[in-house]
Structure 1
Amino acid sequence: METDMPLPLDHQKGRRRCRDRGDFKPLEEFCASSKRPGGRGSYRKPCFNARSKASYARRVKEQYDPEVKPAREVPDGHRSYADCGTVKPVADFPRNRSDSTGYATYCKPGHNTRTREAKQRLHGGNREYHLRRRYGVGEKEFQELLAEQGGVCAICGSPDPEHLDHDHRTGWVRGILCFNCNGGLGRFKDSPESPARAITYLRGTTWQRVLIHPGVFQMCSPTRGRPPSQRS
């Protein structure tokens, strides 16, 4: 007949002796283990982590024989900068949701430097990277399209436009525009009706100078309203 065996002394009352430290601690401080009584292992979590790191360093050294550097002590609210090994406040690091700490490995100046170097190495510069990433074309295609336009803005004809215009719905490149024309299309949200109404407005309601007497002009609107009080 089966009987309930009493638990050892170090397993009673929800406490256990840590094999490394030798003191009794609550079971919640021990690592989970389905093979041990109470569902907890023999080592507290900090002790277990320290043992795991030491075991990993020993196995790496035995296999590759590199110089395994011990973990660096970093105070709360700080992070070690990988390039120079200095410890800086976390406010000096950009955010990174993929990292367990929520911050990037490199500080903001180092991150910017590495980003510029990567863009230069992979794309030949920031402009080529920007064109490729956002529009799917490069500087070569940009210059070819500009030559087809005669080197001027596709809307107003001003020389040396620098902004690549594209359809926000399809992503297709439409042409090269100057700053004002590109911004204007953005304000109209790519709607053909809005510029058409703007043209009608300018042609039909703009105040105009009308000669009412030799040498006397009056400002008036041809369709609505009354002229302002100022005259010239």
Structure 2
Amino acid sequence: MIRMADAVCRDCRDWKPLDEFCASSKRPSGRGSYCKPCFNARSKASYAKRVKERYDREVKPPRTVPDGHRFCADCGTVKPVADFPRNGSDSSGYASYCKPCHNLRTRETKQRLYGGSGEYHLRRRYGVGEKEFQELLAEQGGVCAICGTPDPQHLDHDHRTGWVRGILCFNCNGGLGQFRDDQSRLAEAITYLRGTTWQRVLIHPGVYQMCSPTRGRPPSPRS
């Protein structure tokens, strides 16, 4: 039974409700001559024809991607979403390229913009470049600013102000980090190493006695 609100599609020749036709302001009914599936098929065919005439290439068929997977445009493969890095700016929550392709693109970008990952790291974290790093190292005589170890590779900075202080070896840089750049902690550590700290010794439950400074105790004999 055909209702008054129905219309016939010129392609599939089926009678369908008007809301299944694309909108068109040029027709009295406000709807086009083709139903939505036929209109979409016509649009795809027209696009493929224009691409063929203008660029002399075929339009690739639609890609089928299973749930929980993504297509990587670089390597052209469909992979699980776990193989893609996280990206909060994308609606899916994942990046457009898989992890190997993403890492390759990142390295290429760092090389193109900064000349390498070392320059990128210095610029992003400390606000200086390799040139400034080498100048500071030359001012230090090419050695660690604390212990004098040759060829230090760690740029030290003040965590409060962000200002670069010097270039240190791995051990000295790690030591300052472990002591949290706290001068009082470092002073106490020096006092401790000198063996001049007074020690509190338990002589009775709840009773302590301050003993004279000692430099430690001899190692226990081996069993």
Could you state the TM-score of these two structures normalised by the residue count of structure 2? 0.67
Q: 1:74 to 1:149 in 2, by over 3 A?
A: same
- Is 2:63 aligned against 1:88? no
Superposed CA RMSD in Å reads 4.2
Displacement after TM superposition at 1:132 (Å) = 0.9
- Contact 2:75/2:101 (CA < 8 Å) preserved in 1? no
> How many residues align structurally?
192
Change (3 A) 1:181 1:227: closer
Provide, for residues 83-111 of structure 1, a one-character-per-residue CA deviation record: whole Å limited to 9, x for no partner.
13221121211111111221111111111
| Counterpart-to-counterpart distance in 1, 2:216 and 2:63 | 79
The correspondence for 1:191, drawn from 164, 182, 187, is 182
Report SS of the residue matched to 2:161: coil
Q: Secondary structure at the match of 1:79?
A: strand
TM-superposed CA distance for 1:70, in Å, is 4.4
1:157 and 2:159 are equivalent in the alignment: no
Q: Which residue is 1:170 aligned to?
A: 161
Question: Aligned letter for 1:159?
Answer: P
Change over 3 Å in CA distance of 1:200–1:75 after alignment to 2: same
Kindly state the Cα deviation for residue 191 of structure 1 after the two structures are TM-superposed. Answer: 1.2
Q: Identity of paired residues, percent?
A: 64
SS of the residue corresponding to residue 190 of structure 1 reads coil
Residue 64 of structure 2 corresponds to: 73
In the alignment, which residue of structure 1 is the partner of 2:207? none
Q: 1:75 to 1:23 in 2, by over 3 A?
A: farther
- Tell me, in whole angstroms, the C-alpha distance in 2 between the residues paired with 1:139 and 1:98: 32
Task: Give the direction of change, closer, same or farther, for the CA distance of 1:85–1:225 in structure 2 (3 Å limit).
Answer: closer
Larger CA deviation: 135-144 vs 88-97: 88-97
The equivalent of 2:173 in structure 1 is: 182
| Shift of residue 170, structure 1, vs aligned partner | 1.0
1:196 is displaced (CA, Å) by 0.9
Find out whether 1:223 has 2:213 as its counterpart. Answer: yes
Q: Deviations over 1:139-165 (max 9, x none)?
A: 111111011011111111111111000
Residue number in structure 2 paired with 1:107: 98
Structure 1 residue 58: deviation in Å? 3.9
Q: What is the match of residue 215 of structure 1? A: none
- What SS does structure 2 have at the residue aligned with 1:104? coil
Q: Does the C-alpha gap of structure 1 residues 120 and 228 become closer, same or farther in structure 2, counting only changes over 3 Å? A: same
Q: Measured at CA, do residues 110 and 227 of structure 1 come closer, stay the same or move farther in structure 2, by a change above 3 Å?
A: closer
**2:208 alignment partner in structure 1:** none
